[in-house]
Amino acid sequence: MFNRFERAVAGRYLRARRGERFVSIIAIFSLIGIALGVATLIIVMAVMNGFRADLMGRVLGLNGDLNIFSAGHSIPNYQDDVVAIRGVKNVTRVTPMAEGTVLIDAGNYSTGGVVRGILPGDLRDLHALSDNITDGRLEDFRGDDAIAVGATLAARAGLGIGSKVTLLSPNGRATPFGTMPRIRAYHVALVFDAGVNDYDTSVILMPLGAAQRFLMMPDAVSLIQVATRDPLQVRDVTRAIAERLDDPRLRVMDWTQSNNAFLGALTVQQNVMFLILTLIILVAAFNVISSMIMMVKDKTRDIAVLRTLGASRGAIMRIFLMCGASVGVSGTVIGFVIGVVFCLNIERIQHGVEHLTHTSLFNPEFYYLEHLPARLVWSQVIEVMVMALALSFVATLYPSWRAARTDPIEALRHE
């Protein structure tokens, strides 16, 4: 497409000579703008993809891909429902739970929280928690007075293995003086770090039998948590489970229904950020246009001489297309390298900045997660690079066309 003569002339024009450095400086700034735009887009999209994936993984790992519950009531005889759900295709885990709101009293620290009763075997299969035990052993999670607390709650209340915690439940027995809340003391057997600050602060786990007695749910549970093989195909599993359940009072809600507004907001935010950051590349493309127009004006006499020597309009156009495209290609490649290297080392960079500034850039008390995630989706990276190359190429069309339309006779006459 480009012959040796055209490549030689384009290379000569890209190398600044005395009196032409101003045009080259504009071209360098255009290259830097494209590189920064591409790198910023890659980094921001990777961070948002990582945030979404990490958030979904943690939330779904803790709360399940779908939940079965009975509105306003507990689920009696849940064993039959558990057996029926386990027979559904693509179901990997079924966890019955007893759940209730409590007041947590740990000496000088009191707060509201949620008690979740779970079988010790199901807790072992719940890898979002069992793989993140920071203190204690899973074998100790048994009996009527053992509980597991989150790392954040343990730190705030000064709890450790064997510490005493008093729980108060509003579900009590009716007396002539009104409903008396249930109060009972438990000891800490496990400390877990789920990685979600809200969960680590307010959720207390206890064996299912103990929770049923404390919450006054004999042989009943509050919900049945279900995990699937592929969360993106959860709708098919939801329909299959709904067909198997005989009780019309039971409701099945998957994560797309319970978190649709939140995840939809993340998607909209990601798309808006993509459009906004694309403007950086667009501004750099306008700089390419201005630098190319100035180059064409500066090389008017050279164009006239080349045309007189026999160069065609197509050759002139291709020369200036190469000049502009080289800026776009170089900026895109540099931006790609910067963006990918930054994403692959983002945690090291975060820790380095925190060490230098002695501040926390990603405080888990204010942000939902404890670290800054980044996940490169190569299809998006390719999309960003193609867009940058396309904008750079389009930016060179008009100046190259103007150069090709130069009349050699008029140009030499005025020179």
Each residue's pLDDT tens digit, 98-122: 998 999 998 888 899 999 999 999 9
| Residues of the chain above pLDDT 70, percent | 89
More confident residue, 132 or 171: 132
Measured CA to CA in angstroms, residue 279 lies from 29, 34, 47, 213, 296 at distances of: 16, 10, 19, 61, 26
Range list of H helices, 148-196: 151-157
Phi and psi, residue 120, nearest 5°: -55, -35
pLDDT of the residue at 115: 93
More confident residue, 145 or 73: 145
Confidence tier at 23 by pLDDT (50, 70, 90):
low
| Separation of alpha carbons 151 and 325, rounded Å | 55
Q: What is the mean pLDDT of residues 45-52?
A: 85
User: According to the per-residue pLDDT averaged within each range, which of 56-65, 191-200, 304-313, 351-360 is highest?
Assistant: 191-200
Nearest 10 degrees: Cα torsion 85, 86, 90, 94? 90
pLDDT at 270 over 70: yes
Confidence tier at 194 by pLDDT (50, 70, 90):
confident
Whole-number CA gyration radius for the chain: 32
Between 73-87, 90-104, 312-326, 374-388, the lowest mean confidence (pLDDT) is in: 312-326
Residues recorded for the chain? 415
pLDDT of the residue at 186: 93
Confidence tier at 179 by pLDDT (50, 70, 90):
low
With vertex at residue 330, the alpha carbon angle to CA 327 and CA 334, rounded to the nearest 5 degrees, is: 135
Between 68-72, 193-197, 238-242, 410-414, the lowest mean confidence (pLDDT) is in: 410-414
